[in-house]
Structure 1
Amino acid sequence: MALEDFIEKKSPPILSAPPTLARPLHAFTGFPRDMVTIMGPRRCTPVKTPVGNGSQSLSIWTSTGASTLPIDTYAAHIEALGPDIAIAPAELFHTSVRPPAKKLVRMADRTEEWVARFLKPSRREKLRESGTAVFAPIVGVPHHVQWQYLKQLSEDELDALVGLAIYDVKLLPAVLEHYKPLVPLARLSLHTVTSPQQILEQIAAGVDICAVPFLNTTSDAGIALDFTFPPPEGPHEHPLALGTSMWSPEHVTSVTPLAPGCQCYACTKHHRAYIHHLLNANEMLAWTLLQIHNHHVVGEFFAGIRAAFAAGPTRFEELSEQFVATYEAEIPLGSGSRPRARGYHFKGIANQPKINESKWANLNDGGEGAEGAVRPSDATSESARAARSATETPVVPDESSVELDKKGFASKEEGGALVN
């Protein structure tokens, strides 16, 4: 979870939880106690902000627009919410994935300073007492640029750390080779992945926990994931698809589950035809059921990975090779519309095309441009309002309740008389 999703107001409701609760974040979100919560300052992957970070603050993008989050304020919110895992603040890429050398040095220096500020002695004790595990960030800059910061982690901050949050998995081999005290720490990957094959690559590189942001985008695209680990036994004439588009007309009358043999709620209670109907009706339940299903598929995928490691590292390598050979390399793209995007889903740019399609159209017999038609671009003009009043029922009546009652409001006519 990202703190920026909860602090759009001056007095965030998430901070109003009673301080007596052992896990305020679990109580506010409704998550069960056995579910591990991970909180960082920004989303994975974050939306670009209008300006970069300050020397003592992060630039964030809330649901109401851009804002700043001081490092001390972020630390105080973490203390108050008590997540299971807290990611220390880091200076990340802003607009370019290949910034100049001067920017790379500043990223390493600021991250070093912010982590030390986040882990000051008085705060370490509070986080330890609340049971919050701190993961130190490793930013995506070359090793020779941030070696001093990594040395600080392995010497000065080690006793306060439980894990590492890695923004570039390619740096992990160098970290494990040169900083042995950091080897026992858990490794969380915040390096964006777009397929299960990339997850397997990260795990093979030494990652313990993976962020899987493609779950949301896949569900929004109307795709039901369909892959398993270990993969199904072959031979297969063609590589298997990693998912199925529920927008396809072939599902109109299909009463089969989203994936064969799946035991998730969506597959045991509903079928493809129902999901297809919901998508075409733009019902939010469609994407909710797809999210439930896709989370279950990915959960079983990780369960299979853990079982493979229990059988030995070589078993995991064998099954990973089989998985790559069995499935297509990319998740299919959806062919329909997605849920309506909100302002915090993207950063607007100049001359950007319209993100959301209009949910209404001219239904007059004359078609577009017919007399009396209401165009979206004319919606605020006086003539458009006059035309709309002639073709649509006003949402709010012009008369008072007394006048409406006299005219027989909410009555029906039987035998020439009005009956309430």
Structure 2
Amino acid sequence: MAGSRMKLELSRVVQGKSRLGVLKGLGRTGKHSLEVPGCLLYTHFGTVPHLTQDTLHTLSNLPSVTQVTLSHIAEHQEVLEEFKDGFWKFAGLHDTVVYCSLHDPGAPCPTGYTTNKTVSVWGSGGRIELTVDRFMALQKTVKPDWYHSMADGETWQNNTSRKRVRKSVDRTLAHLDECLLVHQKSQELEGVEVFGVVEGGDILEERLRSAKETAKRPVAGFCLDGLQTGAMDQNLRTQLITAVTKELPEDKPRLLQGVGRPDLVLACVEAGVDLFESFFPFQVTERGCALCFCFDISPDPERAVLELDEERDAAGETKQNGDVNLDHQTQMTSFEINLKDKRYKDDFGPLVEGCGCYCCKNHQRAYLHHLLVTNELLAGVLLMIHNTAHYHGFFGALREALASDKLDLLKRRVLRERKDLDG
């Protein structure tokens, strides 16, 4: 495998951990880049849920990296093999970088199906078992710009034994070595980057072993797995990430799987994470909710914050913020408003005052409420436009805060309602 073209250039590191920079040399041509901290574009089979390519491109500043998952692609392997030109062309993903991961971060993944030789993914037709050979055959068919190696990620439940965690680390390293062996001999994967997966459940020494060993391999970056929302509390997550990132090379990106809530993103960036998957706006959309939290760090955002606070108090929303909760996919958070609520029936304001997205510029909350209660498909389209724009706007504010020493201010803005809650 030739040396990696992908390179992380850091412009500053705040308090020894939070990293601001640009990931350069992405894609086969190497002309794409991605700012960090940043997030990927979340898709189902190459399409952002609810949106067509045209509606998607009403949004500006979209990330240059599109995430696709084998859980959506594996069952279409024969069609893609016949097509021959790779998934990006098949799905019309021109001028974007394709990153292929194993599981869909926005969907629950059943456990208990991993063996020494296989991992399983779930498509619409049920379970598909992947050996390393089949996994690598899929990568050759998909022809992504980068993918993460096959991994045993089934140790994120709290009661996993130390023995099982150790086995998961051993298996994941063995899978990585096998994947690299096939990769290096494969013409189809020339110029494609591999990310190694760091496992280890909630056991610090296994996490460190996984990180150190993975860092010895010729990988372009690292996926931190088994730390997703619902798996552990944030203090433990921070502790483990902080320890792991110390063992990883400075010039390679760290992608965290399965964490999307804004407060958790902030904590993980402070622990040294660079990249996130952006499935959170999709989950919020599926609940019939709109993201509505403040990340304005300009000189006088007090009014905006007060308005948002009043908004939430008036809404009397249930604020569910528990982190260790395996049903987290369906739980509403304090960062969103529930537009199915009757109080929005006569609310003729935009979803978020001052938001420049198509939905907020053209439609009122009352209209969204109407679409939701009558089960109109347009509700999902408009909510997804707003939620995607709001979420990517938050990442823009996060980078700006790191550049201008305003991270504490941003945290106060984003976490304001959490203090009221925890107080």
**Bucket of the pairwise TM-score, normalised by the shorter protein:** 0.5 to 0.7
Offset at residue 190 of structure 1 (A): 0.8
Distance 2:256 2:418 in 1: 23
Higher relative contact order (CA 8 A, sep 6+): 2
CA positional deviation for 1:187: 0.8
- Say which of 24, 27, 30 aligns to 2:92: 30
Q: State whether residues 285 and 383 of structure 2, in contact with CA within 8 Å, keep that contact through their aligned partners in structure 1.
A: yes
Q: Secondary structure of 1:66's match?
A: strand
Superposed CA deviations along residues 132-189 of structure 1, whole A, max 9, x for unmatched, are: 332211114323235444333232x1x3323343433442222233x35x23210111
The Cα of 1:222 is off from its aligned counterpart by 1.0
CA shift in 2, pair 1:166/1:67, >3 Å: closer
Partner of 1:243: 336
Which residue number corresponds to residue 358 of structure 2?
A: 265
Mapped pair 1:116 → 2:209 = no
Paired position in structure 2 for 1:211: 277
Runs of 4+ in 1 over 4 A off after TM superposition: 124-128, 237-240, 326-330
- Aligned-partner residue type, residue 33 of structure 1: D
Q: 1:214 to 1:109 in 2, by over 3 A?
A: same
Q: Pick the structure with more strand per residue.
A: 2
5+ residue gaps, structure 1, are 331-420
TM-superposition CA deviations, 1:213-261 (whole Å, max 9, x none): 3322211111111123235325749576432221122333444322111
Change (3 A) 1:245 1:204: same
- State the secondary structure of the residue aligned to 1:119: helix
Amino acid corresponding to residue 162 of structure 1 in structure 2:
G
Identify the match of residue 43 of structure 1 among 94, 104, 126.
104
1:105-184 alignment to 2 at 5 Å? 105-120=166-181, 122-123=183-184, 126=187, 129-130=190-191, 132-141=192-201, 142-145=203-206, 147-155=208-216, 157=217, 159-168=218-227, 169-170=237-238, 171-177=240-246, 179=247, 182-184=249-251
Distance 1:105 1:281, change over 3 A: same
Maintained 8 Å contact 1:38/1:85: yes
Distance 1:122 1:70, change over 3 A: closer
Contact 1:39–1:86 (Cα < 8 Å) also in 2: yes
Shift of 1:271: 2.5
Q: 1:84 and 2:145 equivalent?
A: yes
5+ long unaligned stretches in structure 2: 1-67, 228-236, 313-334
Counterpart of 2:221 in structure 1: which amino acid?
V
Give how far 1:18 is off: 3.6
The residue aligned with 1:60 is: 121
Using the TM superposition, give the Cα deviation of residue 13 of structure 1 relative to its aligned residue in structure 2, in angstroms: 3.0
The alignment's TM-score, normalised by the length of structure 1, stands at 0.67
Contact 2:208 2:243 in 1 (8 A): no
Q: Which residue of 1 aligns with 2:416?
A: 325
TM-score (norm 2): 0.67
- Point out the structure with max Rg over C-alpha: 1
Kept in 2, the 8 Å contact 1:60–1:67? The answer is yes
- Tell me how far apart the structure 1 counterparts of residues 385 and 366 of structure 2 sit (CA, whole Å): 17
Shift of 1:75: 1.9
